[in-house]
Amino acid sequence: MKYNNKKLFIEKIDLNKIAIKFKTPSYCYSHSKLKENIFKFKKSFKSFNPLICFAVKSNTNVNIIREIKKFGLGADVVSIGELMLALKAGIKPNKIVFSGVGKTSLEISYAIEKKILLINAESLSEIKEINRIAKSKKKIVSVGIRLNPNTDAKTLKQISTGKKENKFGVNTNTFHKIVDYCKNSNNINLKCLSVHIGSQILDYKPYEKMLKAVSQILNKTNHKFEFIDLGGGMGIKYSGENKKLNYKKYNTAILKFLRKHKVKIIFEPGRSIIGDTGTLISKVIYIKDSGSKKFIILDAAMNDLMRPALYGAFHKTLPVTKSKKISKKTYEFVGPICESTDRFVTLKNFQVLKEKDLIAICDVGAYGMSLSSNYNLRPKPIELLIKGSKIKVIRKRQKHKDII
């Protein structure tokens, strides 16, 4: 994204033009940024050629998944819906892993029928259920066990998953019990150990600790694992204050791990692939002066982009047309929803805005549209994919008749 003659562009498209043609709020994704992210990710870990399974939960647009598939990525899914979507996008079953703490019998059964690469189980009960279903179908199923390595990811509490108080994965005792259980089962082929300690991780050290925990447990078992699934979680730079994750150091730690353990590595990145490709364009409906600050009331709201309301997440917010006049008052960008948490960001020294002006909320490609809802009976926004000077509608704007 860059300014050209004071107008904000994604690739060769002026965002003002998008707002006129497609209205607001609109989600726009940059194809070239997506390509760049995938190439960079692959390059960071090219020495051991991992299987990269895109975490579909971060963006569930079938056209986006199709584009990602073209670059050779697989999928990490967490529900039958996401599994259906990944298959519809053309991802081969042998590149799909299924994570999640609460897979139902129906979901397990469907995954077995589709012959996906791995069902990553998160409890002994789930393993037993997979075994029961596999037996009834007279099939042998490839599974993984998700370890809870009790590692602090040093990220937001709400998106940490690898500490013992979190519901995810199993502790070392249960892990060994499951390994024994699988040994005695004719219908389960235990191939993988998986971990995922959290999301938006910017420090490589928690990954180092996680690898240590995995290494320790591998040393204690005589089971031969074919895959180690390290999950995703690689963070992005939402603000100038975020430091960049040191991929080089993470890669070095994995190489060290691989010298001791001959396994194939799987990754499940979501945000690092799609996060900074997306922008939400929104229009100022009203400006309300409250004395100490001005409320900039937008036509986008927490139902369109939930992250600020849910996690206090920061998203860079830019004017779509730049001017030099700076406001003396602080601006609080809010949506029209009847919740006080329906606010995006509070900014000082923003340029003077007027009603009907356009703003761009940045880095919303991951957990933006996929977390959206119809709260206040608001139709979901349109999604557009920009490639050079071409714009493709990749999901239509919902209509009231679709939701009433």
Catalytic center residues? 338
User: Which positions ≥6 away from 245 have C-beta within 8 Å?
Assistant: 201, 202, 203, 204, 234, 235, 272
Only one of the segments 11-19, 196-204, 277-285, 391-399 lies at the binding site for ligand LLP (rule: CB under 6 A); that segment is 196-204
| Nearest one of 317, 303, 316, 384 to 357, comparing CA atoms | 317
Please report how close the Cβ of residue 313 comes to ligand LLP at its closest, in angstroms: 6
366 binds ligand LLP (CB under 6 A): yes
Pairing of strands 2-4, 227-229: unpaired
37 binds ligand LLP (CB under 6 A): no
Only one of the segments 6-14, 231-239, 315-323, 377-385 lies at the binding site for ligand LLP (rule: CB under 6 A); that segment is 231-239
Candidate list 10, 24, 26, 76; residue touching ligand LLP; CB under 6 A: 76
For the chain, how long is the longest CA-to-CA vector? 73
99 binds ligand LLP (CB under 6 A): yes
Of residues 7-26, which lie at the interface with ligand LLP (CB under 6 A)?
none
Candidate list 162, 270, 308, 381; residue touching ligand LLP; CB under 6 A: 270
| Residue 328 Ramachandran class (φ > 0 left, ψ -120 to 50 alpha, else beta) | alpha
Candidate list 142, 199, 277, 317; residue touching ligand LLP; CB under 6 A: 199
Q: Is 220 exposed, middle or buried (0-12, 13-18, 19+ CB in 10 A)?
A: exposed
Reduced to 3 states (helix: H, G, I; strand: E, B; else coil), residue 59 is coil
Q: Provide the CA 157 distance to its chain's centre, in angstroms.
A: 16
Q: Are 303 and 378 in contact (CB under 8 A)?
A: yes
Only one of the segments 6-14, 239-247, 347-355, 363-371 lies at the binding site for ligand LLP (rule: CB under 6 A); that segment is 363-371
Tokens 């990710």 -> residue: 41
Of residues 159-178, which lie at the interface with ligand LLP (CB under 6 A)?
159
| Nearest one of 201, 368, 199 to 277, comparing CA atoms | 368
* Closest CB to ligand LLP among residues 208, 268: 268
Only one of the segments 192-200, 294-302, 344-352, 387-395 lies at the binding site for ligand LLP (rule: CB under 6 A); that segment is 192-200
| Nearest one of 346, 293, 284 to 320, comparing CA atoms | 284
196 binds ligand LLP (CB under 6 A): yes
Measured CA to CA, the distance from residue 326 to residue 285 in angstroms comes to 20
Number of residues that bind ligand LLP (CB under 6 A): 22
Chain positions contacting ligand LLP, by CB under 6 A:
55, 58, 76, 99, 159, 196, 199-200, 231-234, 268-272, 307, 311, 366-367, 371
